[in-house]
Amino acid sequence: MGSFSIWHWLVVLAIVVVIFGTKKLRNIGGDLGGAIKSFKESMKGEDDSAKKEEADKQEAPKKIESRVVEGEVTARKPARKPVKKKA
């Protein structure tokens, strides 16, 4: 008596169809399918918007404030010294 066989499930299905009718079951199935589809689309939309925001942050140019003093340009971050190549 541990597990149900296919015949048990067919009897249960027949009872459910008799009680609710095929039209009501079809409507319930359609509603459930529509809800799942809507949920998937909303989750996909959130993922796309999050990826788009992240890409916008990465692509935005970084602004460095600088000022001119007696013809020289000074920046907050000093420029890197060029690396000399050994011959």
Mean pLDDT of the chain: 76
Six-digit token string for 72: 């020289």
Q: Residue 25 burial by CB count (10 A; 0-12/13-18/19+): exposed, middle or buried?
A: middle
Please tell me the predicted confidence (pLDDT) of residue 1: 52
> Is pLDDT above 80 for 69?
no
Residues 10-43 have pLDDT tens digits of 999 899 889 888 888 888 889 999 999 998 888 8
Tell me the C-alpha distance between 54 and 84, whole Å.
37
Is pLDDT larger for residue 34 or for residue 69?
Answer: 34
